[in-house]
Amino acid sequence: MQTPNPPTGPTGQQIGVVVDRVADDVITLHVTGEIDLLTANVLGERLRENLEPASRVLVLNLTEVTFLGSAGLAEIVSASQTGADQGAKLLLVATNRAVLRPLEVTGLLSLFTVYDTVDAALADAGE
């Protein structure tokens, strides 16, 4: 499922979110573009839609994200807390500085298990 007419950030960069159900209880979200004040709500909506009670694992693939601002960080933390409350686990896939650096400087990196690939995250999740 891709966002129709994705919103754009201040530089005109769009955000895209593609949802892939790997198993009945495992979902991956592949995110592209910039996650800033203008686009973080799209990410938040997709995370909330897919953190359903039946979800055991939600893999958030951020390898193609070119910017991660504070609004995006807040959406990811909120989704992680919501998932934990529902018994679901949020796993992050990130390899680029644009994502890892904001997580690191805010101290949020220690809250998440971060993987280099979706396959590694799925293997750890038992898929």
For β-strands 57-68 and 114-115, DSSP reports them as unpaired
Q: Give CA–CA dist 58/65, Å, rounded.
A: 17
Is residue 45, in this structure, part of any structural domain at all?
A: yes
What are the tokens at 3? 């966002």
Is residue 97, in this structure, part of any structural domain at all?
A: yes
Q: How many domains, in total, are found in the chain?
A: 1
Is residue 28, in this structure, part of any structural domain at all?
A: no
Q: Quick one: DSSP state of residue 26?
A: E
Number of other residues whose CB lies within 10 A of the CB of residue 126: 9
Tell me if 66 sits within 8 A of 34, measured CB to CB.
yes
pTM exceeds 0.75 for this model: yes
* Domain enclosing residue 49, as ranges: 36-122
Assign residue 113 the CATH number of its domain: 3.30.750.24
Q: Give CA–CA dist 6/4, Å, rounded.
A: 6
List the chain pLDDT tens, one digit each, 127 residues: 444 445 544 445 589 999 999 998 999 999 999 999 999 999 999 999 998 777 889 999 999 999 999 999 999 999 999 999 988 999 999 999 999 999 999 999 999 999 999 999 999 987 6
Amino acid at residue number 121: A
